[in-house]
Homo-oligomer: A and B are copies of this chain.
Amino acid sequence: MSLLVPIREDFPSASAPEREESGLRGSRKQRTRDALLEAALRLMREGRSFTGLSLREVTREAGVVPTAFYRHFHGMDELGLALVEGGGVTLRRLLREARRSDVQFTDMIRGSVQIYKRYVEDNRLQFLFVAGERAGGSPLIREAIRREVTHFTNEMAQDLRGLNALPGRSTATLQMICGLVVNCMLNAAIDILDLPPDQPEQEHELVENFVRQLRVVFLGARQWKEKP
């Protein structure tokens, strides 16, 4: 394969390398890097876990020779960490989009769930990776995902404070409640992604259950009394 076309597909440049490079050479390198990241995600589509992927598989899928891999990552673990970073970016973008949206306060939960479901479907592979490796990946990757999820949770707590949805609650309390919400979200993501296609009934039931669970959480949150 010619040097001129070593790339099969682009990767929405989520995880940039440490130092951005410019010029023809730099941008081509960036594209190959992105191709490797996207190849890894693509290989997880059919239910394979990241841990089960081999370096050679990833390069094959990316349309590149195995040894080229080492120009970008020291090994699969480092590629995994780059994917975690991309997942973190995707999560934070969700909050940004939710902030911009104008869901009605009267049915904020259902509206948010709709936005979320759509977002999970649009970012299928990233959610597959994050949800799948959160508990199942290597300790290194688990730890990195935990950090991103905590970051996401705290940002959500700030947003909740901004909305004044739960007035008078301490930051710690808001974080505790958002932790609960984020668990529900990631759990629902797995369910959404495992949904068999063209089963609107099952899909609807899943969404309704998610809505009900969030309602319970927020009902409880409103009742929650801060310690003196």
- Of all chain B residues, which has the CB nearest A138? B47
Confirm or deny: A213 has a beta carbon within 8 angstroms of a beta carbon on chain B. Answer: yes
One complex includes copies of this chain to the number of 2
Per the CB 8 Å criterion, the residue count for chain A at the interface is 39
Which residues of chain A in 197-217 are interfacial with respect to chain B, using CB atoms and an 8 Å cutoff? Answer: 209, 212-213, 215-217
Confirm or deny: A103 has a beta carbon within 8 angstroms of a beta carbon on chain B. Answer: no
CA distance A224 to B215 in the complex (A): 8
Contacts of A142 in B (CB 8 A): 47, 194
Contact B176 A180 (CB under 8 A): no
Confirm or deny: A75 has a beta carbon within 8 angstroms of a beta carbon on chain B. Answer: no
Name the one of B135, B176, B184, B190 contacting A131, with C-beta atoms under 8 angstroms: B135
Name the one of B49, B139, B213 contacting A51, with C-beta atoms under 8 angstroms: B49
Contact A136 B136 (CB under 8 A): yes
Contacts of A220 in B (CB 8 A): 215-221, 223
CA distance A133 to B139 in the complex (A): 14
- Of all chain B residues, which has the CB nearest A220? B220
Confirm or deny: A228 has a beta carbon within 8 angstroms of a beta carbon on chain B. Answer: no
Which residues of chain A in 154-202 are interfacial with respect to chain B, using CB atoms and an 8 Å cutoff? Answer: 173, 176-177, 179-180, 183-184, 187, 190, 194
Contacts of A224 in B (CB 8 A): 215-216, 219
Among A136, A137, A190, A223, residue most surrounded by chain B Cβ atoms (within 10 Å): A136
Contact B136 A137 (CB under 8 A): yes
CA distance A176 to B212 in the complex (A): 8
A to B CB contacts below 8 Å, 10 in the list: A49-B137, A51-B51, A52-B52, A131-B135, A135-B136, A179-B213, A180-B213, A216-B220, A220-B223, A222-B223
Additional 9 contacts, C-beta under 8 A, given A216-B221, A220-B220: A49-B51, A51-B51, A51-B52, A134-B135, A142-B194, A176-B216, A217-B217, A219-B219, A222-B223
Q: Which residues of A pack against B, CB within 8 Å? A: 47-49, 51-52, 131-139, 142, 146, 173, 176-177, 179-180, 183-184, 187, 190, 194, 209, 212-213, 215-224
